[in-house]
Amino acid sequence: MPGGGRIAAVTDAHFEVAAGECLALVGESGCGKSVLASALLGLLPANAQSRGEARLGALDLLAADERTLARTVRGRMVGLIPQSPAAHLTPVRTVRSHMAETVTALTGVRGRKAVREAADRAAERAAFPADHLDRHPHELSGGLAQRAATALALVGDAPLLLADEPTTGLDRDLVDHTVDELRRHVDGGAGRALLVITHDLAAAERVADRVAVMYAGRIVELADADAFFGMPGPRHPYSRGLLQALPDRGFTPVPGMPPELGDLPDGCAFAGRCERATDVCAALPPVTDGTACHHPYVPEDLRA
């Protein structure tokens, strides 16, 4: 930040992802979702700082050193589908080469034929076309790069899969295929879980057990997916606005723009865009029943 100041990109992010569960983290661009994902895997810039705990079993991810993250966590304990997949692929190597190296490193499979077959199976799971495996990253469309990244993340059958915008660049059928495959990953082995970061609320509804809504670096609502997308619906006004913006739910955008993370108000960051705001919103809202709001919707409001 100009002048040497600091920006709190994510604050007070308290949540759990249980074995066998998918948690969808949703919110507008710039709210801190991808920063949170990067912090969990030690991928923040060198000048960034993180505090708190992020427990995966007995290991605190935020306290782990780079050697532990590189050799034990990434790919093995946490599989990552990155937000910008092309940037994570080596430009001078083919997709097949990436797949073979990942299979060998994470699964212990050896032998040229066995590795090739394992790579082909992973590509098929992600709907990556076999006739594109010998192409280099620059020869792939954005959607194909996304599918390549998904295939690579699925190889190791990691206990936690962290998918950061895994459906970017995909048409609706491929979106459904991708989130269904991510769901199968969770359901296909004991102890697996999925944290999916997405703008695509339809994809979140299809795959998630619970939904966490992030706004201006804070989680403002945490709810069961059935209740969030159905009845009684979201309790936070921002969450309700996100759903109202969907084409099949009114196509009404949330008014205004989110605040800059470097210039947040002392109280509720959403107050300036909220029709329910009052003077009390000048203070930071408490978290009650999973919702950080002074004036949350209650069932009586949602039926009105």
Give the tens place of pLDDT for each residue, 234-257: 999 999 999 999 988 888 999 999
**Is the confidence at residue 302, as pLDDT, over 60?**
no
**Is the confidence at residue 136, as pLDDT, over 60?**
yes
pLDDT band for position 139 (50/70/90)?
A: very high
* Average pLDDT value for the chain: 92
**Is the confidence at residue 108, as pLDDT, over 70?**
yes
State how far the Cα of 13 lies from the Cα of 198, in Å rounded to an integer: 17
pLDDT band for position 1 (50/70/90)?
A: very low
Give the tens place of pLDDT for each residue, 150-181: 999 999 889 999 999 999 889 999 999 999 99
Q: What's the distance, CA 65 to chain centroid? A: 23
Cβ-contact 118, 156 below 8 angstroms: no
Fold for domain 21-208?
Answer: Rossmann fold (3.40.50)
**Is the confidence at residue 42, as pLDDT, over 70?**
yes
| DSSP character at residue 285 | P
Report the candidate in 22, 25, 28, 19 with the shortest Cα–Cα distance to residue 39. Answer: 25
pLDDT at 300: 67
Kindly state the percentage of the chain with pLDDT values over 70: 97
Cβ-contact 221, 31 below 8 angstroms: no
How many H helices and E strands in the chain? 10, 10
Angle at which helix 172-187 crosses helix 142-155, to 10 degrees, equals 10
pLDDT at 190: 81
pLDDT at 153: 94
pLDDT at 213: 97
Q: How far is it between the farthest Cα atoms of the chain?
A: 68
**Is the confidence at residue 281, as pLDDT, over 50?**
yes
Question: How large is the C-alpha radius of gyration of the chain?
Answer: 20
Residue 3 CB partners (closer than 8 Å, separation 6+): none
pLDDT band for position 303 (50/70/90)?
A: low
pLDDT at 242: 95
pLDDT at 293: 97
pLDDT at 98: 95
Give the tens place of pLDDT for each residue, 209-241: 999 999 999 999 999 999 999 999 999 999 999
**Is the confidence at residue 301, as pLDDT, over 70?**
no
State how far the Cα of 301 lies from the Cα of 304, in Å rounded to an integer: 5
pLDDT at 262: 87
pLDDT at 87: 81
